[in-house]
Amino acid sequence: MQAPISELLTEAATLMVVGMIVVFVFLTLLIGAVNLIAFINSKFPEEVTPSVSGVNRAKQTASGGSESTPIAAISAAIHKYRSKR
């Protein structure tokens, strides 16, 4: 009992159209949600926190600041890796 080819093509076309409509509606809702979030964020901007200036950061690095520890760890890891080779 095989279905005629025209019925199969009609069912395939219907499924394709339904799928395309679902994707279109989902993407439309997604774009609307992103625009809504952008609108809300523009009405309530985040407070700007002052960052450490370049001069202060250079002083921290020179005086053994927080940036020297990762550099030392990376250097030690590279040295250990190269010594195993």
What tens digit of pLDDT does each residue of 14-47 get? 999 999 999 999 999 999 999 999 999 999 887 8
Segment (H or E) for 84:
helix 68-84
In the numeric block, which tokens belong to residue 2?
Answer: 């095989």
The model scores a pTM over 0.85: no
- Mean pLDDT of the region 55-75: 69
Spatial contact of 61 and 67, defined as CB atoms under 8 Å apart: yes
